[in-house]
Chains A and B, each alone.
Chain A
Amino acid sequence: MANTALEKKEARTEPAHEVTRGNVYTPRVDIYETTDELLLFADMPGVAPGDVDIRFENGELSLHGRVGARLPSQGVLLKEYGIGDFYRVFTITETIDANKITAEMKNGVLTVHLPKAEALKPRKITVTGG
């Protein structure tokens, strides 16, 4: 196991949150396709359910999660990741039924359901005997 020692870094005296403010991060995303829909999972730690904007326009899906500054300005011991908003845009080539898009946010993971338009769903054709 890696052992990380926390030591005070004296060199930097500027407030750390000033460095990250305004930074925007790309969330890691999984996309999965079933017969009925595209399912998108995005890691957006620190984003409350009310702080997500999802837009779907002209085949482009954009995700924006707002994150407030959390790191204090003094006494920083270890800074391994920056804190900022999450933003990412996807081009969706499948035909999506935009009115039926739903999303939920739980424990920092955003799940977006993008139902395929009816016309594209595989259809089983029943053959009747004459």
Chain B
Amino acid sequence: MLTARWDPFSDLWGRMEQLHNEMNRLFNRMSDGLTRSWVGAFPAVNAWEDDEAVYLEAELPGLDLSKLEIFVTGGNQLTLQGERQPNVPADGVWHRQERGFGKFARVLTLPVPVDADKVDARFEHGVLRIKLPKSETAKPRRIAVKAD
């Protein structure tokens, strides 16, 4: 259909949703800040799926990989935890400090069970990418219909 080609509101919806998420994250962070160190919804995550796998991506610039741990538990729980350490020069003064540092931990519940042995994680230019192949039982199966 011609009318389906352009939807002026789709962009708006995307932005609204993003704003909503940002607000949630902000409030999470604030309430966490009152009780203990920064362990809100960090890192922010983008995730998507196809028939084969669930893909997950998180921005963790400057992270030392030896400080990052990834677990899959119970087939569908993914835990990311680690620590981002500041690199502070020996002497001098700060003019601006906007980048956050410290420990983080985040648990994500995946929509389907995954094959924990085949999880592949890569870290490139400060972006962590995780591919979690769906377990065989969760994959869509094409059923051949036999004709008589």
The residues in B between 83 and 121 inclusive whose CB is less than 8 angstroms from any CB of A are 87-100, 105-111
Q: Which of A18, A48, A83, A107 has the most CB of B within 10 A?
A: A107
The yes or no answer to B72 lying at the interface (CB within 8 A) is: no
Instruction: Tell me which of A33-41, A54-62, A96-104, A118-126 binds B.
Output: A33-41
The residues in A between 32 and 54 inclusive whose CB is less than 8 angstroms from any CB of B are 32-35, 38-39, 41, 43-48
Q: Take A78-B46, A109-B62 as given contacts and tell me if A31 and B94 are in contact as well, using a CB distance cutoff of 8 Å.
A: yes
Number of A-B contacts (CB under 8 A): 162
Taking a contact as CB atoms under 8 Å apart, the answer to whether B14 and A75 are in contact is no
Interface residues on A, range: 35 or more
The yes or no answer to B37 lying at the interface (CB within 8 A) is: no
Q: Take A107-B125, A108-B127 as given contacts and tell me if A2 and B28 are in contact as well, using a CB distance cutoff of 8 Å.
A: yes
Taking a contact as CB atoms under 8 Å apart, the answer to whether B11 and A81 are in contact is no
Return B116 CB to nearest CB of chain A, in Å: 16
The yes or no answer to B126 lying at the interface (CB within 8 A) is: yes
Interface size on B, residues (CB 8 A): 53
The yes or no answer to A127 lying at the interface (CB within 8 A) is: no
Interchain CA distance A100-B4 in the complex, whole Å? 55
> A79 to chain B: which residues have CB within 8 Å?
17-18, 21, 46
Interface class of chain A by DSSP: loop
Taking a contact as CB atoms under 8 Å apart, the answer to whether A29 and B98 are in contact is yes
Return A5 CB to nearest CB of chain B, in Å: 4
Taking a contact as CB atoms under 8 Å apart, the answer to whether B94 and A6 are in contact is no
Q: Take A30-B94, A82-B18 as given contacts and tell me if A72 and B48 are in contact as well, using a CB distance cutoff of 8 Å.
A: yes
The yes or no answer to A10 lying at the interface (CB within 8 A) is: no
Return B9 CB to nearest CB of chain A, in Å: 9
Interchain CA distance A29-B106 in the complex, whole Å? 24
Q: Take A4-B108, A6-B110 as given contacts and tell me if A77 and B127 are in contact as well, using a CB distance cutoff of 8 Å.
A: no
Taking a contact as CB atoms under 8 Å apart, the answer to whether B109 and A28 are in contact is no
Return A16 CB to nearest CB of chain B, in Å: 7
List 24 interface pairs A-B (beta carbons < 8 Å), by A numbering: A1-B105, A5-B108, A6-B111, A8-B111, A12-B17, A14-B7, A16-B14, A28-B100, A29-B96, A29-B98, A29-B99, A33-B93, A34-B89, A43-B59, A43-B61, A43-B99, A45-B60, A45-B125, A70-B57, A71-B57, A79-B46, A107-B123, A108-B59, A109-B61
List B residues at the A interface (Cβ < 8 Å): 7, 10-11, 13-15, 17-18, 21, 25, 28, 39-41, 44-50, 54, 57, 59-63, 87-100, 105-111, 123, 125-127
Query: What 9 pairs across the A-B complex have the smallest Cβ distances?
Result: A108-B126, A108-B61, A19-B14, A14-B10, A34-B92, A45-B59, A45-B126, A80-B44, A109-B62
